[in-house]
Structure 1
């Protein structure tokens, strides 16, 4: 019995085009036709639906991992948790100030609650 050559799964525009031509097929049939399946040692074909659906999303430009395009500089993402430093200061990092579009000199009012601290941005003085 001749071994079947492994077909590389389609990606990108080729994947989208192929799926459009298979409109009468089931999801599993589309995945298999686009190369998203494996053959077990017993000869059973298993469709890789998750890989197929992820490839479709990627081909359509949808990113579910939250990995946004960056300006090439790696850094930590905002965790929305802060720690008091050894000198007693509470440092608010650049990830937060960029997200809020803050500029040097912006002023805040510190409001202490029972279980929270709130920063209220003051209107700029003109």
Structure 2
């Protein structure tokens, strides 16, 4: 992935190409589990802004969820027994649809580990 002045130079060099081609040419592509490619537009635009001197931080504003609310880092068991984590938290960890976790139960605690990882 290109960053800084290399990124800005490449963007100028490519000129009038589609946004998808621009993101792909600058290296902001990852592979889906299905084998297809995912274009990482957000990471690309953040890198362009940072190269132009606008610093958004590593992942935007940490600890801020949807609507600008601060994350409480507290989850409540719902009436149906489900425990909902929420999109703001999964986004902070860059989790994707289909990511799997192993559940480890302790005394009054739940720990999640990426499936196949070593504890």
TM-score range, shorter chain: 0.3 to 0.5
Structure with greater helix percent: 2
Larger radius of gyration: 1
